[in-house]
Amino acid sequence: MTRLEIEESTIQIIKDSLSYFLEKELIDEIIKIGQLKNVSTDELILNVGDNMKMIPIVLTGSVKVSRENENGDELLLYYIEGGDTCAMTLQCCVRQSVSEIKATAMEPSLLLMIPVEMMENWMSKYKSWREYILQSYHTRLTELMETVDAIAFMRLDERLKKYLVDQAKLLGSLEINHTHQQIAEDLHSSRVVISRLLKQLEIKGEIKLHRNKIILGSI
């Protein structure tokens, strides 16, 4: 799918996701000029160094936003879900610079892509868009502070338990289909250490481990 006017069902998804905080006139503009992008689990949506031509808004599903160093090590920053956009992406658009983050689909997701040139136009034209962008900055900053606090003040086993609970809430399931390596990368640790901590949680009866799958119990 590319143009939003192709399917009535798609238009309804946009209205259901955005109409509670954006004006009808703005929704109408979005439907006319926006583009849709379907992404699958673990699909790379945006990479470090990419030119920013579109602003992504998540309609359904969820997206992981992370930083990556020159060695390929990743640090999880935050997640964006239905109705959310990425503050780091917005910042790149404002400065007309390349992307400084990676965005990866956590699950099959539907993205609404808005041309970057509309951002400034709508900021002055629509109060609801301006409030939406400012609220996105505030929300992502709060989440970044929580990430820093967790790294600085929580033990790794506590961070792991919080991570598993957050993943369950994000995906709406007690079954988390992540490898130990994926979790290690998100928590900026090693696979060996994460595997050991997960085994300890299983011994305590708080989770059940399967191949590339973790089922939460009493956490």
Instruction: Kindly report the three-state secondary structure assignment for every residue of the chain.
Output: CCEHHHCHHHHHHHHHHHCCCCCHHHHHHHHHHCEEEEECCCCEEECCCCECCEEEEEEECEEEEEEECCCCCEEEEEEEECCCECHHHHHHHHHCCECCCEEEECCCEEEEEEECHHHHHHHHHCHHHHHHHHHHHHHHHHHHHHHHHHHHHCCHHHHHHHHHHHHHHHHCCCEECCCHHHHHHHCCCCHHHHHHHHHHHHHCCCEEEECCEEEECCC
What would the CATH number be for the domain defined by 4-152?
Answer: 2.60.120.10
Share of residues in the chain with pLDDT > 70 (%): 94
Output the pLDDT for position 218.
65
> So where are the chain's domains?
4-152, 155-216
Position 201 pLDDT exceeds 90: yes
Please give the CATH topology (third level) of the domain spanning 155-216: Arc Repressor Mutant, subunit A (1.10.10)
Q: What is the pTM of this model?
A: 0.79
Give 31-80 pLDDT, tens digit per residue: 888 888 999 999 999 988 888 888 899 999 999 999 887 777 778 888 99
Output the pLDDT for position 4.
46
CA distances from residue 142 to 34, 136, 139, 186, 213 in whole angstroms, order as listed: 28, 10, 5, 18, 30
Is there a shared CATH topology between the 4-152 domain and the 155-216 domain?
A: no
Asked if residue 39 lies in contact with residue 56, where contact means CB atoms within 8 angstroms, the answer is: no
